[in-house]
């Protein structure tokens, strides 16, 4: 397996920073969609593990994030839905045009799995894996966390984004600051009962309903950012395909905690990674392990 960096040109000409993990054969491909405010390098260990199992992998930074961001985030005016409509869709285009894969899998972390339905070419995906994902509408939480999400979407996030022109990554649980335009869109979506599917009038319903690839969703038991109720709400959007939600607990992985970001760490998630690979072997028409 070789690892290298390159840029991917989107349909509108925007350049995305990407990392490729390529095997000797270009048969089976995986595209990894990052969580909000997370650099693509965070997924390197997981991508390398997939590569060792025969999958070619692409990780990339969304427009406005990390190495795909301009020097001045205040001048960035991209929209959150463009991460799916343009970025994810363009990465799919690139893999299909350059490599003609026999199978193409999408793996999304948090917001990354919310984007599956926004790509107009998602019918070319053969399998989908959603990790620690959710519909971010605040009423999908209960108790004090619901109050916290209400305040985040209605007050904290819009106020900070307007004041600073960005939203610091550490406040979102990630490591990379969000451009103000992305943060404002995120808050708008979080206030809408249909979240990304309904907040922007982008005819996204058709995109989610178009997905036919089977979906495996991993719900992390101690993840306060993506409780199971919010995961179930998101999975309901993908109404025309087989969806399986699996609960993952710290105890079964032999660790004290997983939370929202831990599953992709090799000292936490490796055993569960193998189960995902086994699932892919069971649903893909062909896979490296078949």
Identify the DSSP state of 61. Answer: P
Q: Residue 287: left if φ>0, alpha if ψ -120 to 50, beta else—which one?
A: beta
- Assess contact for 74 and 178: CB atoms under 8 A: no
- Whether pTM > 0.85 for this model: the answer is yes
On whether residue 172 sits in a domain, the answer given is: no
β-pairing, 2-9 with 15-22?
antiparallel
On whether residue 162 sits in a domain, the answer given is: no
On whether residue 27 sits in a domain, the answer given is: yes
On whether residue 214 sits in a domain, the answer given is: yes
- Assess contact for 17 and 59: CB atoms under 8 A: no
Which CATH number goes with the domain that contains 100? 3.40.50.1820
> pLDDT tens across 251-286, in order?
999 999 999 999 999 999 999 999 999 999 999 988
On whether residue 174 sits in a domain, the answer given is: no
On whether residue 64 sits in a domain, the answer given is: yes
Domain, as residue range, for 65: 2-137+203-283
Per-residue pLDDT averaged across 30-43, rounded? 98
pLDDT for position 173: 75
On whether residue 184 sits in a domain, the answer given is: no
pLDDT for position 86: 97
> pLDDT tens across 146-179, in order?
999 999 999 999 999 999 999 998 887 778 999 9
Q: Is the pLDDT at 27 greater than 60, yes or no?
A: yes
On whether residue 159 sits in a domain, the answer given is: no
> pLDDT tens across 97-133, in order?
999 999 999 999 999 999 999 999 999 999 999 999 9
Q: Which residues have a Cβ under 8 Å from the Cβ of 163 and sit 6 or more positions away?
A: none
Residue found by looking up tokens 């960035």 in the block: 76
Query: What span, in angstroms and rounded, lies between the C-alpha atoms of 60 and 50?
Result: 16
As a dihedral over the C-alpha atoms of residue 202, residue 145, residue 147, residue 115, rounded to 10 degrees, the angle is -10
Q: Is the pLDDT at 195 greater than 80, yes or no?
A: yes
* Number of domains observed in the structure of the chain: 1
Q: Is the pLDDT at 81 greater than 70, yes or no?
A: yes
């Amino acid at each position: 397996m070789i690892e290298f960096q390159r840029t991917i040109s989107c349909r509108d000409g925007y350049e995305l920073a990407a990392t490729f993990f390529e095997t000797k054969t270009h048969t089976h491909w995986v595209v990894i969609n990052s969580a909000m405010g997370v650099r693509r390098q965070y997924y390197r260990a997981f991508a390398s593990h997939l590569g060792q199992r025969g999958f070619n992998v692409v990780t990339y930074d969304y427009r406005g994030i990390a190495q795909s961001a301009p020097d001045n985030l205040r001048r960035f005016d991209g929209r959150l839905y463009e991460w799916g409509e343009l970025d994810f869709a363009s990465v799919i285009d690139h893999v299909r045009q350059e490599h003609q894969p026999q199978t193409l899998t999408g793996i999304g972390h948090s917001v990354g799995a919310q984007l599956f339905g926004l790509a107009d070419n998602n019918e070319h995906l053969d399998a989908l894996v959603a990790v620690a994902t959710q519909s971010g509408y605040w009423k999908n939480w209960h108790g004090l966390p619901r109050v916290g999400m209400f305040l985040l979407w209605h007050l904290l996030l819009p106020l900070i984004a307007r004041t600073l022109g960005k939203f610091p990554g550490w406040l979102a649980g990630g490591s990379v600051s969000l451009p103000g335009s992305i943060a404002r869109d995120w808050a708008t979506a979080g206030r809408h009962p249909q979240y990304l599917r309904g907040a922007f009038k982008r005819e996204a319903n058709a995109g989610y309903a178009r997905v036919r690839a089977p979906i495996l969703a991993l719900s992390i038991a101690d993840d306060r950012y993506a409780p199971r109720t919010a995961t179930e709400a998101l999975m309901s959007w993908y109404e025309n395909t087989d969806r399986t939600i699996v609960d993952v607990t710290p105890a079964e992985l032999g660790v004290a905690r997983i939370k929202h970001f831990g599953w992709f760490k090799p000292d936490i998630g490796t055993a569960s990674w193998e189960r995902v690979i086994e699932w892919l072997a069971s649903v893909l028409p062909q896979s490296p392990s078949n």
